[in-house]
Amino acid sequence: MLAKMELKVGDVYKCPEGHKASIVWISESEKVIAVKCHYNHFYKVAKVADHTKPSLSYRSHPTEEKKIYTKDMVFLIRI
């Protein structure tokens, strides 16, 4: 039989990418926790205007995809 882990807010827990994160929330049923990781994590891909290339017309601007990362992301983890 497995012993139940005693977790509390402020404890260190690993985020889904393996970094050390801190627990910021625990559900009442203690089955879900929220951890806040201070490392950069991938957020989304956005299309941004590329101003280094001359535009074809005033309506069509050349664009490129840029990966956007965010810091201090919060993850919900089912335990």
Judge whether 43 lies within some domain. yes
Q: Of 9, 64, 75, which Cα lies nearest the Cα of 41?
A: 75
Judge whether 44 lies within some domain. yes
Judge whether 7 lies within some domain. no
* pLDDT digits 0-9 by tens, 39-77: 998 887 887 776 666 655 555 666 778 888 889 999 999
Judge whether 6 lies within some domain. no
Range of 18's domain? 12-78
Judge whether 47 lies within some domain. yes
Q: Is the pLDDT of residue 1 over 50?
A: no
* pLDDT digits 0-9 by tens, 3-49: 457 899 999 999 999 999 999 999 999 999 999 999 998 887 887 77
pLDDT at position 4, please?
Answer: 59
Judge whether 70 lies within some domain. yes
pLDDT at position 56, please?
Answer: 57
pLDDT at position 64, please?
Answer: 77
* Counted domains in the chain: 1
Judge whether 25 lies within some domain. yes
Judge whether 3 lies within some domain. no
